[in-house]
Structure 1
Amino acid sequence: MTNFENHGPTDSEGHDPDTETYHVQFDASRDGGASYAVVTALSAVTDKEPTGIEPLYGVLDPDALDALFQHGSGNSKSDIAVSFELDGSDVTVYSTGEVIARMSEGGDARRKRA
């Protein structure tokens, strides 16, 4: 499990081979919201087109996720993290505007190697 206190904005997007995670930074006021960033990260981790990923609404309400992080990256007064499993991947969305996705233990997602 990732330590939330050590997570701040990365200002980048990509695969981290050391941790086998995929990171997406988002700004809800510009980038389509947290749900869009989740789909981007899952697409990279699973090596699937966004339309080939299990629907996000199967595990949570995408509009509620976007509303929770609507103030944009780094602007929240609260430290919030939402974690869930989808399409064989573990996903965590942070109030700092970062989404981190990795293949679940025993999951069937294929990681995209950068």
Structure 2
Amino acid sequence: MQVIERDIVRNVEIIDLSLRAVVDNLRAPETGEASPKARQMILFDRAASARDLGVMLVLDGNGDSSLVITQNQYAAGVAARSDVITAQTQLQTTEALSIAVELSRATLTTNK
């Protein structure tokens, strides 16, 4: 159990560091001025593209930016059309999972 726990903790830490790097780099004024391909390299390091990690999306408060970013990358020739479809699917899946988590929390709170 300890080995599994350590592995999970390590994976979460790696993902957390990657997400923090994305946020930090988004705040840098140079990122917005970079070409779409350079912006992709700045925002998403190699840890963010690790096997089985899935798709990492950047969302605004409405959940819209990731799709805009992906579509812009598609238009610039950086991302494939399949990436746009993957982003749409991931966004819908994330929204559904978020609702499921909230329902589970409400159920657990009610059952206490």
Higher strand share: 1
Greater RCO, 1 or 2 (C-alpha within 8 Å, sep 6+): 1
Question: Who wins on radius of gyration, i.e. which is larger?
Answer: 2
Q: TM tier, shorter chain? A: under 0.3
